[in-house]
């Protein structure tokens, strides 16, 4: 589909999943890719929050190295003021793109941007928590435009370092199992070393997994071919739009099984409602997660809607 169709379908999916009883809907930040139309989470969050009434809406996440911490705090405080304290601000360290595109995103291109994410994160927290030292030159800037409303801050990650920072700063932690399926030890270390903060007195974890549900295991496996082809080429350095299922099936027939990313590099929970429920419960147990978040990519929007409906029904039984 076109990028415009994908953006409108994201709003539709948020409305649909709200009606099914889901608790959160996060949108990502990726740049310069033909597969994903999500370059600006804040633009989509505003549209989704305005079109829903209960579900929490947030960024999964803002790639903070591209932004000023102050601008991020101000923008998300405004969203929080407008949408009743149901805005989540998930932030990450990654660029969300390749090095050339990351450089193109910079305002000042005289040199590469510094790798100062920990300092950015602490500054962002100081604005949101109204905790800037009184003698700091930015102290007065904690009077954010959306007060008394502020977003709920989450740290995202797929590596040990993100878990260390989340624990040290007392932040809730969302781990991208769909990127790194070997994160249970990272989540355990986060829980074991967690330092309580003014906003959070005990560790809180989301495990974000890749899942696709259909009426049968066979049909779900068939629908997953689109993502399997896209990721196979992604790991070879080739970026493509999400391909139609039949085209993807023909492509995969010609590839060695060792190239299937869902077998070698990524966890994918794919199958019937019973199969997917069991897989999600296993992931939740593995991470000792408070919540599981689902990432689903299909060629047809209706197949994605159907997947979320079947999963909701499976957990309602």
CATH number at residue 288: 3.20.20.30
Quick check: is 166 in a domain? Answer: yes
pLDDT at position 32 over 90: no
Domain enclosing residue 143, as ranges: 3-208+275-298
pLDDT at position 192 over 60: yes
pLDDT at position 177 over 60: yes
List the one residue out of 121, 120, 151, 148 whose CA is nearest residue 56.
151
Mean pLDDT of 202-231: 96
Quick check: is 86 in a domain? Answer: yes
Residues in CB range of 86: below 8 A, 6 or more apart: 49, 54, 55, 56, 57
CA dist., res. 201 & res. 290, Å (int): 14
Quick check: is 144 in a domain? Answer: yes
Quick check: is 24 in a domain? Answer: yes
List the one residue out of 174, 160, 156 whose CA is nearest residue 91.
156
Quick check: is 290 in a domain? Answer: yes
Name which of 28-37, 151-160, 174-183 the model is least confident about.
28-37
For residue 173, list its beta bridge partners: 155, 205
Strands 152-157 and 205-213, bridge-based pairing: unpaired
Q: Please give the pLDDT value at position 41.
A: 94
Quick check: is 241 in a domain? Answer: no
Mean pLDDT of 272-281: 97
**Higher-confidence residue: 17 or 256?**
17
Name which of 27-31, 165-169, 206-210, 241-245 the model is least confident about.
27-31
Burial of 243 (0-12, 13-18, 19+ CB in 10 A): buried
Mean pLDDT of 27-39: 89
**Higher-confidence residue: 132 or 183?**
183
pLDDT digits (tens, 9 = 90+) for 115-162: 788 899 999 999 999 988 888 888 898 999 999 999 999 999 999 999
* Banded model confidence at residue 96, pLDDT cuts 50, 70, 90: low
Highest-confidence segment of 15-19, 66-70, 259-263: 15-19
Residue 290 near residue 205, CB atoms below 8 Å: yes
Place of tokens 């790639």: 63
* Banded model confidence at residue 77, pLDDT cuts 50, 70, 90: very high
Quick check: is 287 in a domain? Answer: yes
pLDDT at position 97 over 70: no
Within 183-235, residue ranges assigned H as helices are: 184-193, 217-223, 225-234
Mean pLDDT of 218-231: 96
Residue 13 near residue 37, CB atoms below 8 Å: no
Helix (H) or strand (E) holding 63: strand 56-63
Mean pLDDT of 305-315: 98
Q: How many domains does the chain have?
A: 1
């Amino acid at each position: 589909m076109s990028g415009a169709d994908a953006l409108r379908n994201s709003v539709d999916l948020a409305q649909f999943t709200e009606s099914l009883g889901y608790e959160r809907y996060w949108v990502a930040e990726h740049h310069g890719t033909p597969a994903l139309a999500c370059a600006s989470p804040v633009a989509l969050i505003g549209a989704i929050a305005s079109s829903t009434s209960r579900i929490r809406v947030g960024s999964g996440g803002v790639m903070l190295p591209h932004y000023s911490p102050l601008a991020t705090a101000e923008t998300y405080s405004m969203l929080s003021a407008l949408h009743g304290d149901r805005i989540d601000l998930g932030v990450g360290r990654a660029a969300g793109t390749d090095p050339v595109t990351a450089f193109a995103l910079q305002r000042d291109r005289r040199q590469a941007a510094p790798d100062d994410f920990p300092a950015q994160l602490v500054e962002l927290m100081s604005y949101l928590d109204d905790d800037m030292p009184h003698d700091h030159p930015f102290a007065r800037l904690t009077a954010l435009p959306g007060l008394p409303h502020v977003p709920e801050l989450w740290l995202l990650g797929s590596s040990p370092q993100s878990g260390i920072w989340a624990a040290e700063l007392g932040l809730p932690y969302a781990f991208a199992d769909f990127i790194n399926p070997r994160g249970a030890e990272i989540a355990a270390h986060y829980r074991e070393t967690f330092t309580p903060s003014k906003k959070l007195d005990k560790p809180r974890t989301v495990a974000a997994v890749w899942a696709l549900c259909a009426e049968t295991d066979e049909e779900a496996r068939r629908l997953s071919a689109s993502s399997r082809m896209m990721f196979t080429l992604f790991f070879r350095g080739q970026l493509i739009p999400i391909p139609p299922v039949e085209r993807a099936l023909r492509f995969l027939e010609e590839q060695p099984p060792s190239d299937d990313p869902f077998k070698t590099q990524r966890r994918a929970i794919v199958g019937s409602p019973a199969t997917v429920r069991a897989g999600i419960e296993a992931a939740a147990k593995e991470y000792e997660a408070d919540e599981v978040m689902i990432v689903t990519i299909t060629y047809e929007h209706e197949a994605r809607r159907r997947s979320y409906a079947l999963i909701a029904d499976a957990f309602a039984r």
